[in-house]
Amino acid sequence: TGVGSFVPPKILTNFDLEKMVDTSDEWIRTRTGIQERHVADKGVGTSDLSAKAALEALKNAKLLMKAGAGAVKLEGGRKIEKQIGVLIKAKIPVMGHVGLTPQSYQRMGGHKIQGKNDSEAKRILNDAISVAKAGAFALVVEGVPAGLAKKITKSVGIPTIGIGAGKGFKNHLES
């Protein structure tokens, strides 16, 4: 996939924090290991940061396409709509990936079935719909209950590929 990231240039050190609150560099470092952190300026939102990351991803995706890739695959849902849009405008085909997403599975509690409860299932369904509306040509649906996978397939209007999500797919990979 075309990967991009952006870190705000402004740095806040532990010494800067010492001037603001009752703490010390030593106290912070011994408990957290953190010496400095990057912070966004006031008024800069995460969507602004993600747009800059998308430009980096676009640059990397173009390199992949020049090397012979037929498309890029992006994991996520509503949070990556802008990135999908940027890539589509650049004529780079995008395949989406929802449910259990390998690049962030640790934040999901490991390799576990996603979407077991109603709120999680609704979020994943909405993520899938968002990815399709943003312009993805196909969607990987991984590690979700078979019923949710079928609902996603019926709702998105693009081809779906199931991985560990039941056998109700035209395109299915065994996990």
Active site residues: 142
In this structure, are residues 97 and 142 in contact, taking their beta carbons and an 8 Å threshold? yes
Say which residues have a Cβ less than 8 Å from residue 11's Cβ, sequence separation at least 6: 36, 37, 38, 39
Place of tokens 């602004």: 48
Q: Say which amino acid occupies 36.
A: E
What's the DSSP call for residue 78? G
What's the DSSP call for residue 56? H
DSSP output for 112-124: -----SHHHHHHH
Q: Say which amino acid occupies 170.
A: K
Q: Which two tokens stand for residue 169?
A: 């797919």
